[in-house]
Amino acid sequence: MTWLLASLIASLPADTPVPSSPDLGTAEGKCRPHEFGPSFLVDVIGLRDRRGRLKLEVYPENDADFLADDNILVSAGKTFRRVELPTPASGPVRLCVRVPSAGRYAVSLLHDRDSNRKFGWRVDGIGFAGNPRLGWSKPDAVQASADALSGPTRIEIVMNYQRGFGMRPIKGPETVDENR
């Protein structure tokens, strides 16, 4: 399926947008067993529960492209990677996503608790590399970024959920997370 999608994209004129698909960026983002190339190993901290799906995405580190439509990024030949999987029922949660090369990237993680493939601020959780403090708007790309080394790079992302008038972690940063 992935090679078919890639060949279809390659045959489109340069100004034709790539059709949106949940599969965009997944072949490029999928880590191989014992990944040795540039990648992020993301430890997920502070999940509210074990419902739904986790969706980890990598973007260029600039505000114009950060959280932009995946088909627009892919059509323009820009970095976009995605890893999506069911939330594990128990134990520590670690996701791996490959990146094209060592460098700085913006990284987001959605806890899609209702599995509807879109962010609902009253239901779902969200987290970013760098763990910026969230309010009602998305953080700047530079605040939500991390440096990928030439091999696997470990980062932690603390999940935020709607609490009061904003998005915040369920626990304070000084609290040990039961998911670790």
Instruction: Delimit the domains of the chain by residue range.
Output: 21-168
What is the four-CA torsion angle of 68, 145, 76, 26, rounded to 10 degrees?
-80
- What pLDDT, on a 0 to 100 scale, did the predictor assign at position 17? 54
Beta-bridge partners for 153: 40
- pLDDT beneath 70, residues of the chain: 1-21, 172-180
Q: Is 135 helix (H, G, I), strand (E, B) or coil?
A: coil
Output the six-digit token pair for 99: 């990146």
Decide the pairing of beta strands 161-163 and 152-158. unpaired
| Angle value at C-alpha 130, between 126 and 133, nearest 5 degrees | 60
Output the pTM of the full model: 0.83
Token look-up 């493939």 returns 117
Which region, left, alpha or beta, applies to residue 25 given φ > 0 means left and ψ of -120 to 50 means alpha? Answer: left
Decide the pairing of beta strands 39-45 and 152-158. parallel
- What pLDDT, on a 0 to 100 scale, did the predictor assign at position 18? 52
CA distance 28 to 80: 8
Nearest to 39 by CA among 55, 18, 56: 56
